Amino acid sequence: MASSTALRGTPGSTRQWRVVDIVVASVIAVAVGVLFFAWSAGYSGISVLTAGFPPLGGLYTGGWLVAGVLGGLIIRKPGAAIYCETLAAAVSALIGTQWGVGVLLSGAIQGAGAELVFLLFLYRRWNLPVALLAGLGAGLALAISENILYNALWTIEFKLLYVLFAGISGIVIAGLLSWLAMRGLARTGVLSAFAAGRTADV
pLDDT of residue 45: 85
pLDDT of residue 51: 87
pLDDT of residue 97: 85
pLDDT of residue 8: 44
pLDDT of residue 84: 98
pLDDT of residue 79: 97
- Supply the DSSP string of the chain, one letter for each residue: -HHHHHHH--SGGGGSPPHHHHHHHHHHHHHHHHHHHHHHHHHHHHHHHTTTSGGGGGGGGGGGSHHHHHHHHHH-STTHHHHHHHHHHHHHHHHT-TTTTHHHHHHHHHHHHHHHHHHHTTT---SHHHHHHHHHHHHHHHHHHHHHHT-TTS-HHHHHHHHHHHHHHIIIIIIIHHHHHHHHHHHHTTTTTSHHHH-S--
Whether the Cβ atoms of residue 162 and residue 149 lie closer than 8 Å to each other: no
pLDDT of residue 171: 98
CA distance 65 to 61: 7
Which 8-state DSSP code applies to residue 186?
H
Model pTM?
Answer: 0.89
Residue 125 gets the label, from left (phi > 0), alpha (psi -120 to 50) or beta, of beta
Amino acid identity of residue 142, one-letter, is L
- Residue ranges covered by each domain of the chain: 2-8+18-198
Mean per-residue pLDDT pooled into runs of 10, the chain (202 residues): 40 76 97 94 86 95 97 97 98 90 94 98 97 98 97 97 98 98 94 82 44
